[in-house]
Amino acid sequence: MLGWSINLFRVFGIQLAVHASFLLLLGYVGYEGWVEGQLPGMLWSVALIVAFFICVVLHELGHSLTARRYGVRVPRILLLPIGGMAQFDRIPRKPAEELLITIAGPAVNFLIAALLFAAVWRGLINTEDVPRYSFNSLVDELWFWNLVMGVFNLLPVFPMDGGRILRATLATQMPYLRATWWAALISKILAPVFACIAFFILDWKMTGVLFLFILFAGDAEYKQTLRQEQEEQYWRERARQAVEAGAVSGEPPLIMHGPN
């Protein structure tokens, strides 16, 4: 499903891509805007969603550029209707590194929110003076949505940022796999609760869908971590056996390189 994507351009050497379903979102938002305010409504709504996703890209760049400092390769940032996804070739096992990489994303949103808030401060006081479909009202929406994006990503559901912070924090006290297991379990309890709040109280349908997606993504990432651990253990065992065999026969020990 993730294969249906369109490559746009490169930012800092990272390929930016949008999933085909993103076009459906643009169409839907444009249609809703048209119903509400004809052409100005449509243009304004599309501009807002594009600006919002530029902020999503900046959030992902926060993660990606911090990750690169720790030698992580970031081939692609993919935009989906439910948000962005930076693809890393690996996730650092050192809790401090994972923490910094994770915090960098929401930090970008809080920074944008603060800057935009400062910029529209005057407009915010005289809200009646801001026309509905204007640049001012767009910026006014955007600072608020950046604040929401920052806070929302910090909710402790794995593998969202808050869940990763939880995992990294737990990993300072217990083995990495066990920490991932706990983070995924907590996510399984909280994600349906947040999904219900999004669907029935806030009426944020896309957010509700996102939480359901997270429910599966958290479990998938735990299983992937488990598989990695098992593979590493297998290769460690093979290396140990090779060393023992070498010691018995007098041959030099084989050095095995496992995956990763």
Q: Which residues bind Zn ion (CB under 5 A)?
A: 105, 153, 161
**Listing from the earlier edge strand, what are the strands of the sheet with 5-11?**
5-11, 14-19, 76-80, 83-87
Minimum distance, C-beta of residue 63 to Zn ion, in the bound complex (Å): 5
End-to-end Cα distance, the chain: 26
Minimum distance, C-beta of residue 66 to Zn ion, in the bound complex (Å): 11
Q: Give the SS3 label for residue 102.
A: helix
Minimum distance, C-beta of residue 48 to Zn ion, in the bound complex (Å): 21
Tell me whether residue 60 is one of the annotated catalytic residues: yes
Q: How far apart are CA 91 and CA 73, in angstroms?
A: 10
Cα–Cα distances (Å) from 84 to 127, 233, 241, in that order, read 31, 33, 44
Cα–Cα distances (Å) from 224 to 67, 231, 257, in that order, read 20, 11, 20
Q: Which is nearer to Zn ion, 153 or 180 (CB)?
A: 153
Strand extents, DSSP E, 61-191: 76-80, 83-87
Q: What is the DSSP string of 215-241?
A: HHHHHHHHHHHHHHHHHHHHHHHHHHH
Q: Which is nearer to Zn ion, 120 or 191 (CB)?
A: 191
Q: Which residue is nearest to Zn ion (CB)?
A: 105
Q: Which is nearer to Zn ion, 18 or 149 (CB)?
A: 149
Minimum distance, C-beta of residue 87 to Zn ion, in the bound complex (Å): 13
* Residue from 32, 36, 60, 244 carrying the catalytic annotation: 60
Q: Which is nearer to Zn ion, 159 or 208 (CB)?
A: 159
- Show which residues are catalytic: 60
